Chain A
Amino acid sequence: MALLIRGPFPTNQNLIVLPNPEISNTDALGATVQTIRMMSGKVNTHIKPRNGRRKMRWVFLLGNDKAKELEDYTIDFAGSLCTVVWRDETFLGWLTLNPFEMSGEVSEFYRVTLEFEEKK
C-alpha cells in the first residue's frame, strides 16, 4: 500500500506517491505530562494534550529519481498543509523535519526520513 502525500491543502493539486516506509516507523502522541511534587508530598500533573495530535516519522528507501522528486516536493510545500493517506487513514498536517536529509545507499538509492505532525 502506497503512502500518498497531497498538497497544498485544500486544493490538493499535487500528489506524490511513496512506497511503504521501512519497519520501525513511529507514531506518537503530542501530549505531554509534567509532574511536580509539592513539599507536602502531593504530586500535581500539568498536561499539554495538544488536542490529541499525532506525530509520525517514516523512513523510506527510495530510488534516485523518486528521492529527488520527494526533495523537490518538500521544498515546494515546506510551509503548506498537506494531506497524508496511508493504511486507510488520512492525516492533515505539516512535514516538520528540518532539515530534510537524503542519505545515499547502495546503487543510487537514498534513505529519507519524513516527520509529519498533525494540525489540530
Chain B
Amino acid sequence: MSFFNDTFTGADATNIISGHTSDSGDSWVVHAAAFGGASATIFSNTCRPNVNNFVLINPDIVAPSADYSVLSRIKRITTDADTSNGSGIAIRLSSSASLTCYLFRVRTDRMVLEKYVSGSGTNLGTRMITVAQNDEFDVELLADGSTIEVYVFDVANSLWITASGTDVSKTALFSVTDSSVTAAGTPGIAAYRNYFTFDNYQALEAGVLHPSGEDFLALTDEVEAILRTTERPEQFLNFVTSAVGYRGTPWLPIEISQTLDLVQSVKNTWFGQGSSDLGLVQTVDFSYALENTLELEGVATGGINYNLFNEMELTDSSTRGGSMWNRTASSSLTLQSHANSYNPNNKCDRRYGARTGPVASGKLTLRSVDGLHEIELRNPQVDNGRRTSFERILRETRGGSLIVYRDASWPVTQTLQFTIISTKTATLVSLRQFFLDTLGYEIQLIDWLGEEWLGVVIRPDEPFVEDGEGYWTFGFEFEGHKVGGHSGSHNLSLSSEVSFVLE
C-alpha cells in the first residue's frame, strides 16, 4: 500500500516546501542535512530542486516500517554536466543532520547507489551510463530487511537498465545486502542543483501488492506482488457470471457471457501503432514444472437443443488511411492437436458418418527416385495398415522392476501395408515391370492424402489374385520413412492475409 505519493501538480514556480501539499495530503520539508537555502519548486507538474549544491527534501512523515520502496520518475532537463554528485531518491532517511540513509543518484555519466551513516558515505554500486538531456527513468529504490535493491526503467526505450546492459524483464540494477541503516526513517529527494526533475513520487510498503490492487480491472495498470518470504504469491482474475431461470418457464432462453477486451486506439498520427498481448509467462529457477493453460470449455447438461462451441477469433482490419500506402492484415494460428469425433445417426445405433481430417483426393503413386519410372494405382482398401517398430531394451530387474530404454538415435522401422482390388491386367503388367525395374531400390511413395514416403517395396513377391475376369487383387508392403518428419496433416495452420494498395 502507498503511504505517500505526489505528482507535483500545480502552478509553475510554486514552492514545494511552503506552498504545496502532496497528493496523499502531506507536506514536504527541507532536511536538516541539506545545504542552506535548499528548496524545490513545481516545474511543468514536476518537482525541480533549486540551484543549490545539495538539495535534500523529504515528506513530513515517518515510514510505517523499515521495509518499503520509493519510486520516482527522474528526468535530466538541462545540458549541464554532473559527474560528481548526482540527483536521486533516498530511503530510510533519518532526521539527523548527519546524513544517514541509502541514496540512489543519477549523474550525467553514471548511476550510483550509496549508503550514508552519520554523514560518512560508502559506494555500494556504480553503473556507467550516459544520461543525456531529456532522458528519463522510472526508478525504484527498495529496502527490505538487509536487502537494498534498485530498479531503473528507461522510459524512452522501454527497457530495464541492468548491471551489464538492458533487459525487457524487470531486473535489478543494484542488489546488495547491507544492515548499516535499519531504521524506517522517511523517503526523500536529493539533488545537485536543478539539473533533474522528479515526478510521480511515491513510497510503498513492501510485501504487498503495489500499485494498489483496487484498480485491478484497468488494464493500463501493472499489478505486481513481491513477497520475500516462503509464501507463494498468487494473483487471480476471476470473472464469474451465473444466471438462474424462472421456475415454471424453462423454455425462456437465458444467455450469459463474459468479455475481456484489449482495445487500443491511435488517432491523428501517421505512424500510430498499437498491440494487444495476452501473455502467459512463468519463470522459475531450477527444476520446477511450468504450465500455462488457456482453457475454452463449454459444458451443457440436460436441456433441449443445446449447442456448444468455443471460438478463438483473430481479426485484423485495415482501413484506407491515405494514398500510396500498403496495408496488410494477417492473423495466424497454428494448432498441433486434433479432435476425434463421429456423427452418430442415432444414439442407439452408432454408425460412423462424416469424418474429421483431410479429404482423399489423390492417388497412390509409386515413383523411382530418378523419375524415370512411375505408376499410379487406384487407392487401396480402407484396411490399409501402418506398423511402427522400435529398437529398444526392455528388461525386468531381479526386484521385479520394469526398465525400458531407447536411445534417440536407434532406428525406427515403419512399414505400410496396402491391399488394392479390381486392378486391370494392363495396370498389373505395368506394376510388375515397375517392381522389376526398381527392385531393392529406394522409391518414392505418395499416398492419396499427399503424404510422401521414401523407402523400399519389401514384398514384391506377393501373389496377385484374379478375382474376376481381367480384374486382380494384390497387396504389397512398403518399408521406409516419411519425408519432412511428422505427418503432413499433423499441424493445422490457419492464416489469412489481406493486402491492398490505394492509388
Residues of A within 8 A of B (CB): 10-12, 16-19, 30, 48-51, 53, 62-66, 68-69, 71-72, 74-75, 78-80, 93-94, 96, 98-110, 117-120
Main secondary structure of the interface of B (DSSP, over half): loop
| CB <8 Å contact, A99 and B400 | no
Knowing A50-B396, A64-B357, A109-B355 touch, does A101 contact B384 (C-beta < 8 A)? no
- In the complex, which residues of chain B have a beta carbon less than 8 angstroms from the beta carbon of A64? 355-358, 449, 489
Partner of B404 from the list A94, A99, A110, A120 (CB cut-off 8 Å) is A94
| CB <8 Å contact, A99 and B389 | yes
| CB <8 Å contact, B489 and A74 | no
State whether the Cβ of B412 lies closer than 8 Å to any Cβ in chain A: yes
Chain A, Cβ-Cβ closest to B410? A79
Roughly how many angstroms separate A107 CA and B382 CA in the complex, as a whole number?
A: 7
B301 to chain A, nearest CB (A): 15
State whether the Cβ of B490 lies closer than 8 Å to any Cβ in chain A: yes
- In the complex, which residues of chain A have a beta carbon less than 8 angstroms from the beta carbon of B404? 79, 94, 96
| CB <8 Å contact, A104 and B338 | no
B476 to chain A, nearest CB (A): 15
| CB <8 Å contact, B402 and A119 | yes
Knowing A64-B357, A65-B357 touch, does A79 contact B400 (C-beta < 8 A)? no
Partner of B401 from the list A71, A101, A107, A119 (CB cut-off 8 Å) is A119
Roughly how many angstroms separate A51 CA and B385 CA in the complex, as a whole number?
A: 36
| CB <8 Å contact, A74 and B388 | yes
| CB <8 Å contact, A75 and B388 | yes
What is the 8 Å Cβ interface bit string for chain B, positions 482-501, against chain A (1 contact, 0 not)?
Answer: 00001101100000000000
- In the complex, which residues of chain B have a beta carbon less than 8 angstroms from the beta carbon of A71? 386, 388, 487
| CB <8 Å contact, B382 and A105 | yes
| CB <8 Å contact, A120 and B401 | yes
- In the complex, which residues of chain B have a beta carbon less than 8 angstroms from the beta carbon of A103? 383, 385
Partner of A106 from the list B352, B356, B407 (CB cut-off 8 Å) is B352
| CB <8 Å contact, B387 and A99 | yes
- In the complex, which residues of chain A have a beta carbon less than 8 angstroms from the beta carbon of B340? 18-19, 62-63, 66
| CB <8 Å contact, B382 and A63 | no
| CB <8 Å contact, B490 and A65 | yes
The 10 closest A-B pairs by CB, nearest first: A79-B406, A99-B389, A68-B487, A64-B357, A50-B400, A65-B338, A104-B384, A102-B386, A94-B404, A100-B388
Chain A, Cβ-Cβ closest to B489? A65
Residues of B within 8 A of A (CB): 289, 336-341, 352, 355-358, 360, 381-390, 392, 394, 396, 399-402, 404-408, 412-413, 449, 486-487, 489-490
- In the complex, which residues of chain B have a beta carbon less than 8 angstroms from the beta carbon of A62? 340
| CB <8 Å contact, A17 and B388 | no
- In the complex, which residues of chain A have a beta carbon less than 8 angstroms from the beta carbon of B490? 65, 68-69, 72
Roughly how many angstroms separate A24 CA and B487 CA in the complex, as a whole number?
A: 29
Roughly how many angstroms separate A17 CA and B337 CA in the complex, as a whole number?
A: 8
| CB <8 Å contact, B387 and A101 | yes
| CB <8 Å contact, A51 and B399 | yes
B287 to chain A, nearest CB (A): 8
| CB <8 Å contact, A117 and B402 | yes
Given contacts A18-B340, A64-B358, A98-B390, 7 further A-B contacts (CB under 8 A): A19-B340, A65-B490, A66-B340, A69-B487, A105-B382, A108-B360, A120-B401
Knowing A101-B385, A107-B382 touch, does A79 contact B402 (C-beta < 8 A)? no
| CB <8 Å contact, B289 and A11 | yes
- In the complex, which residues of chain B have a beta carbon less than 8 angstroms from the beta carbon of A51? 399-401
- In the complex, which residues of chain A have a beta carbon less than 8 angstroms from the beta carbon of B352? 106-107, 109
Roughly how many angstroms separate A51 CA and B403 CA in the complex, as a whole number?
A: 13
Roughly how many angstroms separate A36 CA and B413 CA in the complex, as a whole number?
A: 41
B280 to chain A, nearest CB (A): 15
A81 to chain B, nearest CB (A): 8
A6 to chain B, nearest CB (A): 11
- In the complex, which residues of chain B have a beta carbon less than 8 angstroms from the beta carbon of A75? 388, 390, 412
Chain B, Cβ-Cβ closest to A79? B406
| CB <8 Å contact, B386 and A53 | no
Q: Can you show 12 pairs from A to B with CB atoms below 8 A apart?
A: A64-B357, A65-B487, A66-B356, A69-B337, A72-B487, A93-B402, A99-B413, A100-B390, A104-B383, A104-B384, A108-B360, A120-B402
| CB <8 Å contact, A104 and B400 | no
Roughly how many angstroms separate A66 CA and B490 CA in the complex, as a whole number?
A: 8
B487 to chain A, nearest CB (A): 4
| CB <8 Å contact, A96 and B382 | no
A112 to chain B, nearest CB (A): 9
| CB <8 Å contact, B405 and A79 | yes
Roughly how many angstroms separate A49 CA and B398 CA in the complex, as a whole number?
A: 11
Roughly how many angstroms separate A16 CA and B247 CA in the complex, as a whole number?
A: 42
Roughly how many angstroms separate A99 CA and B381 CA in the complex, as a whole number?
A: 22
| CB <8 Å contact, B392 and A79 | yes
Chain B, Cβ-Cβ closest to A64? B357
Roughly how many angstroms separate A1 CA and B487 CA in the complex, as a whole number?
A: 26
| CB <8 Å contact, A78 and B489 | no
| CB <8 Å contact, A49 and B338 | no
- In the complex, which residues of chain A have a beta carbon less than 8 angstroms from the beta carbon of B400? 30, 48-51, 53, 120
Knowing A107-B355, A108-B360, A119-B402 touch, does A69 contact B338 (C-beta < 8 A)? yes
Roughly how many angstroms separate A101 CA and B489 CA in the complex, as a whole number?
A: 19
| CB <8 Å contact, A63 and B389 | no
Roughly how many angstroms separate A99 CA and B280 CA in the complex, as a whole number?
A: 39
- In the complex, which residues of chain A have a beta carbon less than 8 angstroms from the beta carbon of B337? 16-17, 69
- In the complex, which residues of chain B have a beta carbon less than 8 angstroms from the beta carbon of A16? 337
- In the complex, which residues of chain B have a beta carbon less than 8 angstroms from the beta carbon of A104? 381-385
B484 to chain A, nearest CB (A): 12
Partner of A68 from the list B399, B402, B412, B489 (CB cut-off 8 Å) is B489
Roughly how many angstroms separate A80 CA and B163 CA in the complex, as a whole number?
A: 41
